[in-house]
Structure 1
C-alpha cells in the first residue's frame, strides 16, 4: 500500500468524526494536495481548482459523521471534486454559448441598424429621448451614462442620496431603453 493510499489513523478518524479541529486539520493536510491535484486536472484552472478543493473539504466537514471508515475519506473528497468540476464545466459551456448567442443577436441587429441609421442619427435620437426625461433624471443619466460618473459622485453633485440617484438612474435607463427598443424594432 503506497503512502497516498494509507488512511489516517483510527484515533484521528474518530476525533475527526466528532468535529475535532486538530483532527480535521490532519485530514486536510493529508488529502489536500491530492484533491487539489485532481481538481486542477479536472478543471484546468488554478483558481477553480482551489475553489473546488475548498468546497470538497467543506462538504467533508459537513458530512463527516456519515463517513464510516478512514478509507472512505479520499473517495468522498474525490467524488465531490469531480462532480464540482463537471458542474463548473457545464456552467462554463452554457455561459459561453449564451454569450455567443447574445453577441450574434446584437451583431445582427447592429448591422441591420447601421445600414439604415448612421451614428449621428442614432445620437440625435438618443439626445431627443434623454430630453424627454424629467430634468433631474436627465442630469443623472448624462452624468452616469455619458460622462461615466459613479453613483457616489453624482449623489454629491446633485445633493441626493446614493440610493435616490440609483432609483432615478434606473427609471431613466428603463425609459431610454424602451424608447430605443422601439426604434430598433422599427428598423429591423
Structure 2
C-alpha cells in the first residue's frame, strides 16, 4: 500500500536527477526494495514517506554520478587509444582502410557473406537463399568473420565505437 501511494511522487523526485523515465523508475523500485530488506535495521526519525523520498533522491544522485564516471572512463580510454597511436589521431578514413584490409584477409566465402550482411544489409535468410546455403552455414561463416575481425582490429576497439562498422563500410 505504501509503495503504491508514493510511487508516482518518488518517480517525479528521481526524474529531477535522472532524465530517463525507465531508469528513474528502476531507481525508485531499487530504493524501495533496499528499504524493505533493511526495514529491521533502520531508525527512521521522520515520516516514512520523507525518508523514502530522501533515499530516492540520494540513490538518484548516486546513479547520475556513476553514469558520469562511467562516461568519463570511456572517454579517457578513447583519448588514450587515439593519442597512443604513433601517427597521433586516426581519422575515419584511416580506420576504414584498416577495416577494409582486415575484411580482405577473410576467407573468400566468409568475406562474401560478411559483406552481404553489412554492406547490402541482407538478413541471414536472404544470404542463405541467394547463395544456396543453409542459414546455419551463414551463421557459422559470420562467426568466423567476427572472430577474425575482432582479432585483427582489437587495438582499435574503442575507435569502432566512435565510427561504427556500418558507417565505415558505406
TM-score by length of 2: 0.59
Report SS of the residue matched to 2:135.
coil
Deviation at 1:27, TM superposition (A): 0.7
1:94 matched to 2:69? The reply is yes
Higher RCO (C-alpha under 8 Å, 6+ residues apart): 2
The runs of 5 or more residues in structure 2 that have no matched partner are 158-170
Alpha-carbon separation, structure 1, partners of 2:149 and 2:142 = 10
Alpha-carbon separation, structure 2, partners of 1:178 and 1:84: 36
Distance 2:52 2:148 in 1: 50
Name the structure with the higher helix share: 1
Separation in 2 of the partners of 1:63 and 1:156?
58
Distance 1:141 1:111, change over 3 A: farther
CA RMSD in angstroms comes to 4.1
The 2-side partners of 1:113 and 1:60 are apart by: 49
Gaps of 5+ in 1: 1-25, 182-188
State the partner residue of 1:138: 111
